[in-house]
Structure 1
Amino acid sequence: MSTNGKKELYRIPEQGKVAGVCAGLAEYFNLEVWLVRIVVLSAIILTGVFSFALLLYIVAWVLLDKKPPAHGRHAELKTKVWQAGDSPRQAIREISTRFRSLELRLRALEQHVTSDSYSLKREIDNLK
């Protein structure tokens, strides 16, 4: 999304099979990539080899900019099968993994702060 809140259409070659046009369309319309690929491929096959759909794909390939790299991950939950995003079960699993990792780090920090060597080092530093 841009800074003014409007979505912008990009192509995403990292997620694409050919040029990333279908991946960009899927992200823009919040759909699964496989669904957009099926629609585009069906349009190309059903209208002939040199079809209008193929011409539009090539024009989009040339005109659309590549998507700039994102800073961090923003996951969205999907409510319908064709929407893009994580399933609720997958999102809960990922959150659970993150919390487990944080808990282990917190336990290690707590163990260090309550240890005798930490108390001794703190007292020595206070003497200086």
Structure 2
Amino acid sequence: MGENKRKLYKNPDKAKIFGVCAGIAEYFGFEVWVVRIITLALAVLNWFNGTIVFAYLVLFFVLDPKPESISNKGCFGKERHRARPDKTPFENKPYKPTVKDVWRSGSSPKEMLDTIEYKFSTVESKLQRLESFITSKQFELEREFNKMN
């Protein structure tokens, strides 16, 4: 039961600085860019009195690199030498599209706005029908009959 636990690692293969954000994103199943933006926003806005920067540095020193990672990037993506694993990390893994792939495959903004406009008009027409029924005499009559039962 406890053998299949996930472990938090820093991910040097996707590192921009130390790979901590990439590791956190992988652990929680988020996109890496979201974790990076949140971390940067918290650090720049100096929330928690610098605790974010301190926690990031602590995680850099405490977390082990991901075992099946190919590279061992250090500070700012500089490659450090490390024994490579026997298997490549991408064997038999399903393709996970990146944010750029998803953005490219999506609809154009005009198509999206047309879709949203159609959905809102459908909801609005349903609400209008509901409102006209609730304010009708038939609704009041049915409500009175239901009170009698």
Alpha-carbon offset, residue 75 of structure 1: 2.4
Distance 1:61 1:73, change over 3 A: farther
Whole-angstrom distance in 1 between the partners of 2:92 and 2:57? 30
Residue in 1 that maps onto 2:30: 31
Aligned-pair RMSD on alpha carbons? 2.3
TM-score (norm 2): 0.47
Q: Do residues 86 (structure 1) and 97 (structure 2) align?
A: yes
Whole-angstrom distance in 2 between the partners of 1:66 and 1:19? 10
Larger-gyration structure (1/2): 2
Whole-angstrom distance in 1 between the partners of 2:22 and 2:31? 8
Whole-angstrom distance in 1 between the partners of 2:92 and 2:53? 33
Residue 11 of structure 1 contacts residue 61 of structure 1 at CA under 8 Å; is this kept in 2? yes
Whole-angstrom distance in 2 between the partners of 1:15 and 1:73? 19
Query: What are the ranges of 5 or more consecutive residues in structure 2 without an aligned counterpart?
Result: 69-88, 102-149
How many pairs does the alignment contain? 77
Q: For 1:101-116, list aligned pairs within 5 A.
A: none
Write the letter of the residue equivalent to 2:25: A
Please identify runs of 4+ aligned residues in structure 1 that moved more than 6 A: none
Residue in 1 that maps onto 2:52: 53
Whole-angstrom distance in 1 between the partners of 2:27 and 2:94? 15
Alpha-carbon offset, residue 37 of structure 1: 0.1
Whole-angstrom distance in 2 between the partners of 1:75 and 1:46? 38
Write the letter of the residue equivalent to 2:18: A
Write the letter of the residue equivalent to 1:86: P
Alpha-carbon offset, residue 71 of structure 1: 6.5
Q: Identity over aligned residues, as a percent?
A: 36
Query: What are the ranges of 5 or more consecutive residues in structure 1 without an aligned counterpart?
Result: 77-84, 91-128
Whole-angstrom distance in 1 between the partners of 2:40 and 2:28? 17
**Secondary structure of 2:4's aligned partner:** coil
Distance 1:60 1:47, change over 3 A: same
Q: Do residues 74 (structure 1) and 93 (structure 2) align?
A: yes
C-alpha deviations, 1:78-107, integer Å up to 9, x for none? xxxxxxx437xx7xxxxxxxxxxxxxxxxx
Alpha-carbon offset, residue 73 of structure 1: 3.9
**Secondary structure of 2:12's aligned partner:** coil
Write the letter of the residue equivalent to 1:7: R
